[in-house]
Amino acid sequence: MDLHALTQFLVVARLEHLSRAAEELRVAQPSLSRTIARLEDELGTPLFDRVGRLRLNEAGRLFRGYAERCLGELEAGRRAVAEAAGDGFGTVRLASETFLTFTAPLAAFKRAHPAAEVELRQLSVDLMVRQLRAQEVDLCVASQPIRTDGLHSARLLDEPVFLAVPDGHPLADRESVDLADLAALPFITARPGHWNRRLLDHLFTALGHPPRIVCESDELAAVADLIAADLGVGLIPAVGRRTAARLPLALLPVTTPACRRTLTLHWSTTARLSPAAALMREMLVNWSWTPPS
């Protein structure tokens, strides 16, 4: 069993698609298939179900965790040696669903520690967790709950999320809205997996039917503009008030306590943080995250 095979297995396990994995790895698909087959032969059991589309099976899920930890420890060793051979400060790798919230603390960190190298990765929550376990990232900030073992957590911010409607909308003059007011509205939101979409789906679970979605956007910065163009309504966190204030929008409190966003910092319980990553963690934990009024 070699590291090359483990690396390729993890990509196939993440994508559950041989041709896309081969494209990402820049190898021929037949070669990748042979690598996975040899790994399965060595382990003595299939790692994927091959009925219909490729699916990671129970044995594959079990082995994936060990493979991630193995490669993670090797990467941690490489970084430790690089730090010892250099100035000892190292790199911090920070992942988040969006970095719109982080401009100020990131700028402050670079001013305070100009020698630090900062790598930013915009990832889904599921992928953030996988990369934390594999020690491919040091810290991650999530706007939705992460319930898994092996992580430390620190709450950074808890803020209300508002219903944004264009000026002139029938609800625009209301002081607040109830959950029932959302039932028939056309929503502009993120794709499944993002905190904005998960919150919307959670709210509509109480209504007993899915939301009416007219636009799914990967460009969250464009959501407010689309709402202002009267193409639909959407959920905007309190931290987005300054951006929304420049647009013809009304932000309305939603009376249900569930309409909130909690920003949480996570890091591995077992990984060794570089000095740069430890300093970034300290800055994020101690930053003044009070949302703008």
pTM of the model: 0.67
Task: Print burial letters for 252-276: b (CB count within 10 Å at least 16), e (below 16).
Answer: bebeeeebebebbbbbbeebebbbb
Query: Would 96-156+262-286 and 157-261 be classified into the same CATH topology?
Result: yes
Domain positions in the chain: 3-68, 96-156+262-286, 157-261
- d(C-alpha 48, C-alpha 33), whole Å: 12
Residue with structure tokens 């703008």?
Answer: 292
The CATH class, in words, for 3-68 is: mainly alpha
Neighbours of 10 (CB within 10 A): 19
The pLDDT tens digits along the chain (293 residues) read: 788 888 899 899 988 999 999 998 889 999 999 999 999 999 999 999 988 889 999 999 989 888 887 887 777 677 666 665 555 567 899 999 888 778 889 999 989 888 888 999 988 888 888 888 888 899 999 987 787 788 899 999 899 999 999 999 999 999 999 999 999 999 999 888 888 899 999 999 989 999 999 999 877 778 889 999 999 999 999 888 877 778 999 999 999 999 999 999 999 888 888 888 988 999 999 998 865 44
CATH architecture of 157-261: 3-Layer(aba) Sandwich (3.40)
- Spatial separation of the C-alpha atoms in residues 54 and 33, rounded to whole Å: 12
Q: What residues does 225 pair with on adjacent strands?
A: none
CATH top-level class of 96-156+262-286: alpha beta
The string over 15-27, giving b where at least 16 C-beta atoms fall within 10 Å of a residue's C-beta and e elsewhere, is beebeebbeebee
